[in-house]
Structure 1
Amino acid sequence: MPKSESAEYEINPFTKEERDSIIQAFEESKLYSYYVPLVKLLFFTGCRPSEAIALQWKHISDKYITFEQAITISTKGLALKDGLKTQSQRRFPINNQQREILDSIKPENCNPDDFIFRSKKGGIVDFGDFLNHAWKGYKNHRGTHIDGIVTQLVKQGVVTEYRKPYQCRHTFITLCLEADIDAKDVGRWVGNSPEIIYKHYAGNKRNLQVPEL
């Protein structure tokens, strides 16, 4: 399986409690609290990271988030690409949870072409930087390892094992299935076919029980 696809189906979701602990830890972080809206949107929409950081305010309506582009890494750095991995675009119905996230960061007089999520310096979020600093951690110039948020939570025993940010997507899909939402609807929200949902996610339902027939 190509590397890009392996991340798509290496499914090891966080529990709901782990998800909430990660969000809380970002909220309480002096260094990385500005990433809270991004982390929340990843957990609460199941979108791919490349789709989240490509969102502009023109993609938000009263009822929907329209995903139709992605940020990719090119030889010249970060690049904006039209279309998504498996489709040209998809619409995600906004609920109160997502609306609250977006309203909390929307400027009063925002430009429709402005990106929703910004780096600390105001530019497009470099997801590699987010992963290797805020999420996982890094070695400083002295060779000392500085733990990121999730690595800290693993060491504290709050999160059972380290997992990459892509698992936010898998967490959303898994929790939807555990809430008995039809795989066709979940697939429509996240840009996967029902067959993919059944094949890769339905078997991972933690509370799956044999019914009394």
Structure 2
Amino acid sequence: MVSQHKASKGTVQIKISNDRLQLVFSFGGKRHYLSTGFPDTKANRKLAEMKARQIELDILCNNFDITLGKYKPQSEQIIFTPSLTPVVETGASLADLWDSYTEYKRSSLSPSTLAKGYKSIYRCINVFLPIKTLDKAVAIRDWLIANKSPLSAKKTLTQFSACCNWAVKSQLIEDNPFEDMASDIKVPKGNFEETDINPFSVSERDRIIQAFKENRYYKHYAPLIEFLFITGCRPSEAVALQWKHIASDFTIIRLEQAVVLSLSGLICKPGLKTQKKRVFPINNRLAGLLKSIQPVDVSGETKVFPSPEGNWIDVHNLSKRAWKTVLKTLDSVEYRNLYQTRHTFITMALKNGVDVKDVATMVGNSPEIIYRHYAGQSRELFLPEF
């Protein structure tokens, strides 16, 4: 029911004004009256209720947008694009549906998924898309294909479709205009981080490690880069290591957590990408590296690879700044992303006769993945005399 009574502090009330649903609430000693732009229908009331809950939650979490821009209907926001004339939008707002869908999914999603996947979709809709209404779904698809990589366009359309499927089930819209659009986009092989395999040679690896050691600004990261090359560890797992994970006799490393980006910043979460935990054996070179960086007064909670400020290392920033900058200084070394340190280790292990199953166990992949993506590339074909 739409209330006509004054809302209590910290709550948002839904009223009708000029035949439109209106949100009424108090914040900072000021009374706010925010029109949703929606007529009073059953479906629109559900949208208004979700928007009201979002405002209440933001007030409670001290995340309230005092400009109210976050809560206004998209039809009130003017869109400027350099190459397109302003579009007069009609129909259901993709931005409003995505906000509601995110709130619905929030409790079931990990912080990293919310911060990376869902926040990137939010930015795509609210910052980049020149058209934001469901009646222009085909135009939205065409814009994504023209302005994003095939993989990114496919992922975005998949999310739009999932959002609209939820909206149909919630009786907010009648049908899903994005249904099956993603399946029409073909993604070229090699676009995935785990399967885009282009390893460094041994000499290239050693040059990169040495370049980090000699770099004036980024030598702090040299031990981490060497560790990545000689373990094949995923960067998110390496930066999450604490000294309690290193055996006191330097025989094994226990990998059981990863540093990920959440809505509140970098956090360390239990578990790895494909498993809960794994054990990695330490050889002489790795033992020497770890002993050389171990602090004198070390505790179990101390980070093995802290940032210069003593915090968790942001792998994204490391890749975009330190890694890219150092590799640019190396002539004749083709630029490849940081994840190729992992591919380099796996490829070298196979070339040196380590059994596929053992490699899979050490790096946290299945033997099938190793056979499919590495084993064929790592062997030189030989035709015997017969």
Corresponding position: 1:209 with 2:381: yes
Change (3 A) 1:195 1:109: same
TM-score if structure 1 supplies the norm length?
Answer: 0.88
Question: Which of 97, 112, 128 in structure 1 is aligned with 2:285?
Answer: 97
Correspondence list, 1:153-192, <5 A:
153=330, 156-157=331-332, 159=333, 161-192=334-365
Helix, strand or coil: the match of 1:130? helix
| DSSP 3-state at the match of 2:194 | helix
- Shift of residue 211, structure 1, vs aligned partner: 4.8
Deviation at 1:209, TM superposition (A): 2.3
Q: Which ranges of 4 or more aligned residues in structure 1 deviate by more than 3 Å? A: none
- 1:18 corresponds in structure 2 to 204
Pairs within 5 Å for 1:1-40? 6-40=192-226
Aligned to 1:141: none
| Structure 2 residue corresponding to 1:79, chosen from 267, 282, 292 | 267
Deviation, 1:73, is 0.9
Q: 1:130 deviation in Å?
A: 1.1
SS in 2 for 1:6: coil
**Secondary structure at 2:192 match in 1:** helix
Which structure has the bigger radius of gyration? 2
Deviation of 1:60 (Å): 0.1
Amino acid in structure 2 at the alignment position of 1:208: E
Amino acid at match of 2:303: F
2:341 and 2:315 map into 1 onto residues whose CA distance is 14
Aligned to 1:151: 328
Partners of 1:78 and 1:54 in 2: how far apart?
Answer: 11
Q: Distance in 1 between matches of 2:381 and 2:222?
A: 35
What is the aligned-residue RMSD (CA, Å)? 1.6
Structure 1 unpaired stretches of 5+: 137-147
Secondary structure in structure 1 of the residue aligned to 2:346: helix
Deviation at 1:187, TM superposition (A): 0.4
Q: Secondary structure at the match of 1:18?
A: helix
Q: Number of paired residues?
A: 196
Displacement of 1:74 after TM fit? 1.0
TM-score by length of 2: 0.49
2:338 partner SS: coil
Q: Secondary structure at the match of 1:21?
A: helix
Match of 2:307 in 1: 119
Picking from 79, 83, 88, the partner of 2:276 is 88
Aligned partner (choices 166, 180, 194) of residue 367 of structure 2: 194
5+ unaligned residues in a row in structure 2: which ranges? 1-150, 156-190
Match of 1:66 in 2: 254
Provide the secondary structure at the position in 2 that maps to 1:104: helix
Secondary structure of the structure 2 residue equivalent to 1:102:
helix
Percent identity over paired residues: 50
Aligned AA (2:316): G
